[in-house]
Structure 1
Amino acid sequence: MELIIFFTNREDRMQFMKNHLKIEAAVLDKGEEFFEKIDGMKSIKLKNRVNTIPGFWLELNFLETEKGEKLYNLLCHSVDSSQMRDNVFYPKENLPLKDLEAGWSAKYNLTKRESQEEIWKLFYQEIKSHIKYDRIDIAYKGFTLFLKYNPFFLKKYKRYYILEDLAYLYENIGNVGKAIKCLKMQAVLQPNSIEPYLNISSFYIINGMEEEAYQICQEALKKSPENQYLISNLIIALINIGNLEYAVDFLEEVLEKNPNNAYFWKLMGDILYEMEDNKGAIDCYQKALKIGKNPGVDDFKLDIHTGIGDCHYEEENYTEAVTQYRKALNYNPKDPYLLLNLGQIHFFKLKDTKKAFKYTSLLVENMPENGYGQYQLGLIYSHLGNIEKAIWHLYRARSIIPYYKPIHDAINLVKKNNKKYHAY
């Protein structure tokens, strides 16, 4: 016979054992050997989880004797049925908020203002378990109850960061609305922080909601006018909307106040590049490099040299473009964009097949699923007269990006010029 009982806190479990089993707190750490001395009792176990349900559980195993059965029946009548293992409220299916609130309130006594910290911790553990098992709607409703009854618990130790995890889970299933609501909930818990606004604006940008991103950035910049990440998101939103002129005006005002901020000069370079002002963009990128000679972040230098390389490419200064791309490559030797560009320039513009092969081979070696790299390598092999390898890489490219027409044209051309492959 077995009886498994749920408690919301350690003290209640201890009191139950004292009252009904005559066990004193001082002996609880002595192990199960002690419990065998209780007449009719086989074992007692203290658990923090049963059937994935967190709690202060008490597992009682009774002997199949008259005394064991008597003790079992006595304890069954001493326990509320809602504390029995199979009756403990632990929703695995999403329910309306009012039903969840009723169940959790009865289980944890949420409306009791002086509820122990231990009880709120247990409720928090339950919500985390729902996240773990992908019951994110249940978890979301649980956090709304935290916000209603005990928001200070989430503020303590910055527990509100779990709302970011929940937001990303919603984003992964395409529910951007709920993701934003999670971050807005976090913003309520951090009224003086711009971090939630930054996350919200990033979510908006990623999901093509630039107007909303712009609005939230403007709101947050009232709190932190010089936060470069907010300014960056605002500029990205403006670029995506196509409002480049306003983006330039906005950044010019920012740069008047922060002329030594390398990141803002880099942003201005990005905008001018979008506006096809390549020379102006190069000037801004060079200023960013000069100001931020040692920013300590390789990604910054990688982006700057890549940006300068892009500008020179547009101006048909291919040798200088190669120089800048190679400088960028120092910070990320496997960057697919840089390797592809270097391969293209050497093959199509500088007619240096050897270097084109070097960079394109590196790209395909590091990223075999890059269809454009496979296509380019196929063209290079064709140029070198290795038709078999050319066909193989072109077919591989076609399987990865079947919609890219130049691949089909290249395959037809290679087959047309080589009778051996007419039947393929």
Structure 2
Amino acid sequence: MVLNIFFSNKSERRQFIKEQLQANSVATEKDEILSDEIAGIKNIKLKNRFKSIPGFWIEIHFSTDERGKVLYTHLVDSVDLKYVNSHVFYPKENMALKDLEKQWLDKYNLLNRDNDDEAWKLFFQEVKSHIKHDRIDVAYKGFMIFLKYNPFFLKKYRRFYILEDLAYLYENIGNVGKAIKCLKMQAILQPDSVEPYLNISSFYIINGMEEEAFSICREALKKSPENQYLISNLIISLINIGSYEYATDFLRKVLDKDPNNSYFWKLMGDVLYEIEDNKDAIDCYNRALKLGKDPLVEDFKLDIYTGIGDCYYDEENYAEAVNYYRKALNYNPKDTYLLMSLSQIYFFRLKETKTAYKYTKLLVENMPENGYGQYQLGLIHSRLGNMEKAIWHLYKARSIIPYYKPIHDAINMIKKTNNKLQAY
């Protein structure tokens, strides 16, 4: 016979052992077997979980003799069932907030100041357990209880950072609304910090909600007007909604105050590229590169070189475009955009098929499920006269992106001009 009993703090467990089991001399502060002889009991274990339910548990193994049976019956009768074994409240399914609140407040006696600290810590462990087991709606409502009754607990030791983890979990399942709410909870707990606003604006941008991103960035910049990450998100949101004039005016004012900030020059280059002012965009990118003493430049040289390459490509200066794309490739040799851009320039513009093959092969090796890469490799093999390889890669491309018409046209063209491959 075994009985597991839940307690919300150590003192209640210690008191139970002394009063109900008359074990005054037993060490009760460590998670270990209690070895003192108690009539009717084989042993007692102190545990911090029972079937994944966190708590200050005791596991009592009773002897099979009459004394054990009597003691077992006595304890079962004297202990409230809601604190025994699997009867302890531990929601594995989502419930209405009011029901969860009632059950949790009762389970942990959360409004009783006498056991405040340990009970809240234990409740926090339960919320984290729900996150671990993907019960994120239950965890979210648990944080609502913290926010309502004890927000200072989450502020202490910066426990509120776990709300970011919960936000990303919501984002992964496509629930952007709840993700934003998690970050807004964090913002409430950090009224003087712009970090939650940065996270919220990033969520908005990723999910195509640029106007909301702009509003939240503008609000946060009142608190931290020189935060370049907020400025970056604001500019990105403006670019995405096509508000280029506002973006350039905003950045000019920023650069007037901070002309040596390489990142802001890079952002200005991005905006000017979007409005097809390629010459001035290249000038801005080069100004960012010239501020070489700024260690942050190294972090976004890939983007700067890619941006300059894009400008030269649009100007049909393919030699310079290749030059800067290759420089960018030094920072990420597997970048699919760069590999595809180099492949297409060498194949379609510079007519250097073997060089195009080199970059396309690298692209397909790194990402074999890239249908456009497979299509490009098929075209290259066709020009090189490797018809069997050409048709293989084209068929592969068709299986990945079956609705891309140029693939079907290329297959039909090869079949018409190569009778030997009609039955392939």
Task: State whether TM-score is above 0.5.
Answer: yes
What residue is the counterpart of 2:55 in the other structure?
A: 55
Kindly indicate whether residue 184 of structure 2 is the aligned counterpart of residue 181 of structure 1.
Answer: no
Match of 1:383 in 2: 383
Structure 2: which 5+ runs fail to align? none
Distance 1:116 1:406 in 2: 68
Give the counterpart letter for 1:34 in structure 2: S
- 1:251 maps to which residue? 251
Match of 1:327 in 2: 327
**Given that residues 14 and 25 in structure 1 are in contact (C-alpha distance below 8 angstroms), is that contact kept between their aligned partners in structure 2?**
no
**Following TM superposition, by how much is the alpha carbon of 1:214 offset from its aligned partner in structure 2, in angstroms?**
0.7
What is the deviation of 1:306? 0.5
In structure 2, give the amino acid aligned to 1:284. C
Q: How does 1:105-254 map to 2 (within 5 A)?
A: 105-254=105-254
Deviations 1:194-217 (A, max 9, x none): 000011111111111111111111
Identity level (%): 71
Offset at residue 114 of structure 1 (A): 4.5
Counterpart contact for 2:289–2:297, Cα < 8 Å:
no
Give CA deviations for 1:383-408 in whole Å, capped at 9, x if unaligned.
11000100111111111111221111
Check conservation: 1:298, 1:331, Cα contact below 8 A: no
> 5+ unaligned residues in a row in structure 1: which ranges?
none
Distance 2:34 2:187 in 1: 52
Q: Does 1:306 align with 2:306?
A: yes
Please say if residues 32 and 46 of structure 2, whose CA atoms lie closer than 8 Å, have aligned partners that are also in contact: no
Structure 2 counterpart of 1:34: 35
Q: Partner residue of 2:19?
A: 19
> Would the aligned equivalents of 2:262 and 2:297 in 1 still touch at CA under 8 Å?
no
Q: Rate the CA distance shift 1:422–1:143 in 2: closer, same or farther, 3 A.
A: same
**Is the counterpart of residue 315 in structure 1 residue 291 in structure 2?**
no
Q: Which moved more, 1:126-135 or 1:285-294?
A: 285-294
C-alpha contact 2:27 2:34 (8 A) present in aligned 1:
no
Quote how far apart the aligned CAs of 1:292 are: 3.5
TM-score (norm 2): 0.96
**Which letter maps to 2:27?**
V
Q: Aligned letter for 2:105?
A: S
Indicate the SS of the match to 1:111. coil
Relative to structure 1, is the Cα distance of residues 317 and 212 closer, same or farther in structure 2, using a 3 angstrom cutoff? same
Cα offsets for 1:134-182 (capped at 9, x unmatched):
2111111110110011101101111111111111111122221111111
Which residue identity does 2:91 align to in structure 1? P
Deviation at 1:117, TM superposition (A): 1.4
Following TM superposition, by how much is the alpha carbon of 1:24 offset from its aligned partner in structure 2, in angstroms? 3.7
The aligned amino acid for 2:331 is Y
Residues 302-351 of structure 1 show CA distances to partners (whole Å, capped at 9, x for unaligned) of: 11000000100111111111110111111111111111111111111111
Describe the shift of the 1:240–1:81 C-alpha distance in structure 2 as closer, same or farther (beyond 3 A). Answer: same
Paired residue total:
423
What secondary structure is seen at the aligned counterpart in 1 of 2:134?
coil
Task: Report Cα offsets for 1:86-133 as digits up to 9, x if no partner.
Answer: 321111221111111110111111222443311111000111111112
Change (3 A) 1:396 1:170: same
Measure how far apart 1:368 and its partner are. 0.7
Measure, in 1, the Cα distance between the counterparts of 2:34 and 2:104. 36
Higher mean C-alpha displacement, 163-172 vs 377-386: 163-172
For the residue of structure 2 that corresponds to 1:115, the secondary structure is: helix
Q: Confirm or deny: 8 A CA contact 2:325 2:338 kept in the other structure.
A: yes
1:60 counterpart SS class: strand
Q: Would you say the 8 A contact 2:375–2:393 is kept in 1?
A: yes
**Secondary structure of residue in 2 paired with 1:27:** coil
Taking structure 1 as the reference length, what is the TM-score of the superposition?
0.96
- Give, in whole Å, the separation in 2 of the partners of 1:347 and 1:299: 31
**Which one-letter code corresponds to 1:4 in the other structure?**
N
Contact kept? 1:130, 1:138, Cα under 8 Å: yes
How far the C-alpha of 1:296 sits from its partner, in A, is 5.1
Q: Which residue of 2 aligns with 1:404?
A: 404
* Distance change in 2, residues 1:205/1:412 (3 Å): same
1: CA distance, partners of 2:221 / 2:174: 28
- For 1:219 and 1:361, the matched residues in 2 are separated by 47
SS at match of 2:266: helix
State the alpha-carbon separation in 1 of the partners of residues 4 and 388 from structure 2: 70
Question: How far apart in 1 are the matches of 2:31 and 2:422?
Answer: 83
Deviation at 1:30, TM superposition (A): 10
After superposition, the CA RMSD in angstroms is 1.5
Structure 1 residue 220, shift from structure 2 partner: 0.4
Q: Deviations over 1:51-103 (max 9, x none)?
A: 11111111111111111111112222332222111321111221111111110
Q: Secondary structure at the match of 1:7?
A: coil
C-alpha separation in 1, matches of 2:375 and 2:33: 69
For residues 236-273 of structure 1, what are the alpha-carbon distances to aligned partners after superposition, in whole Å with 9 as ceiling and x for unaligned?
11111111111111111111111000000000000000
The residue that corresponds to 1:268 in the other structure is 268
Aligned AA for 1:385?
G
Q: Equivalents in 1 of 2:283, 2:193: separation in Å? A: 35
Contact 1:299–1:331 (CA<8 Å) still a contact in 2?
Answer: no
Residue matched to 2:415: 415
Q: Distance in 2 between matches of 1:385 and 1:271?
A: 43
